[in-house]
Amino acid sequence: MGKKIKLSITVIFFSILILTSSNAELNVKVIISVGEEIITNYDLDKEINYLNVITVGKIKELSEKESRKIAIDSLIKDKIIIAALSNYNNIIIVDELLNNQIIKTSRNIGFRNIEDFMTFLKFQEYEFDEFKEKILLELKWNQLVYQFYKNQIVIDKEKIDKKLKILISEQKKNVEYLVYEIFIENAAIKESNNKNEEMSTKHNIVNEEQNEITIVTESASYNNKKKLIDLEKTTEEVTDVKIKDQITIDDLIKNIKKKGFEDTAIQFSSSPSAQQGGRLGWVSESIFSQLLLKSIKKTKIGSVTEPIPISGGILILKVENKRVEENKIDLEKKMEELIDVEKNRQLNNFSTNYFNQVKNNIKIKYFND
């Protein structure tokens, strides 16, 4: 009786084991073998998820066939690297280097900080530890290649010097203007008896339309912090700004000549800069729109531009001063950067060559999935 019970238990046990194995086989299949390493359909799904993370969703925009192909190539590469590293267990990556690389990678992907990135991983249902393992594998491989080929790196100092001289010769000069503004809203412009003649002939106003005319200001009213002031104001957008006394463009020009630009700005300008006499501070010419820059360049230093019509009103600028500064290059730092670039270029070549050597010695077999 006891033997029959034991036999029944054994039969039930193996029956369960076979059923479990069959179910597992239905869910997880080996689709590729790379040497002694295997890749399953489960690995493939995880790799697609990983690629979706590092491309911030772009991998999902591809067809299923394309995304699977990219994921399979990536997995095969990882398995080849794992095979190469299996003979070198002494490669240690310190936590600081690993963490710095994770932060760098997350920034390259487009995240401001590691917290935002980890939140994104959770949303994508991808484990942080798995991402960490990916980065660790990459660092170990780079370290292995470096140990093998560091003595073969050759830096051509003359070549680097030539590149540095080219950079110095091509460095652009930064042109800045000390600018003041008066902005008069349409609602504050008083029509003259002959408005059309005044606007088109007497003051020769430019009738070129521009979008998104913005300049950077440094203003005491903004705690000396640089702010973007949109000069393409509309009547509705400036309801919070007190409309000043109405004035004709002709009288405005006369007032500037009589009382000065800053006093006129304080009295009539609708811009927040009016409190500082219209001062916008030193502004790089690269910040101005083509319309404004065109007017500024043909205006003598210390003079004012012709009235410039913009959306919502009229703008007049005073070009108080101009300065030209060279963008100075830190020669020592730039030299180090160029040397690092050359080292990385050579190491990348060594890495590719060594990877292909390892790959040629590994048998890759595909199974029907």
Residues 302 and 243 in one domain: yes
Q: How far apart are CA 143 and CA 157, in angstroms?
A: 25
Structure tokens at 99: 């963490």
Residue 57 has pLDDT above 70, yes or no: yes
Across 237-241, 276-280, 332-336, 342-346, least confident range: 237-241
2 versus 366: which is more confidently predicted?
366
Whole-model pTM? 0.55
Output the CA angle 144-148-153, nearest 5 degrees. Answer: 115
* Amino acid identity, position 361: N
* pLDDT value for 244: 52
Are the CB atoms for 264 and 255 separated by under 8 Å? yes
Nearest to 120 by CA among 137, 105, 99: 105
**Banded model confidence at residue 318, pLDDT cuts 50, 70, 90:** very high
Q: How far apart are CA 316 and CA 251, in angstroms?
A: 13
209 versus 89: which is more confidently predicted?
89
SS3 content of the chain, % helix, strand, coil (to 5): 55, 15, 25
CB contact set of 368 (below 8 Å; sequence gap of 6+): none
101: containing domain: 28-171+360-369
- How much is the CA Rg of the chain, to the nearest whole Å? 34
Number of structural domains found in the chain: 2
CATH number at residue 38: 1.10.4030.10
In tens, the pLDDT along 178-203 reads 999 999 888 777 776 554 444 433 34
Nearest to 315 by CA among 269, 266, 274, 248: 269
Asked if residue 133 is part of any domain, the answer here is yes
Residues 234 and 164 in one domain: no
Residues 226 and 318 in one domain: yes
Residue 7 has pLDDT above 50, yes or no: no
Residues 121 and 139 in one domain: yes
Asked if residue 341 is part of any domain, the answer here is no
Residues 303 and 282 in one domain: yes
Residue 301 has pLDDT above 50, yes or no: yes
Residues 163 and 179 in one domain: no
Q: How far apart are CA 293 and CA 299, in angstroms?
A: 10
Residue with tokens 């295997």: 38
Across 5-9, 23-27, 34-38, least confident range: 5-9
Overall residue count recorded for the chain in this entry: 369
Residue 162 has pLDDT above 50, yes or no: yes
* pLDDT value for 77: 94
Percent of the chain with pLDDT over 90: 41
Query: Residue 192, exposed/middle/buried by CB under 10 A (0-12, 13-18, 19+)?
Result: middle
Residues 182 and 258 in one domain: yes
Residue 8 has pLDDT above 50, yes or no: no
Q: How far apart are CA 263 and CA 256, in angstroms?
A: 8
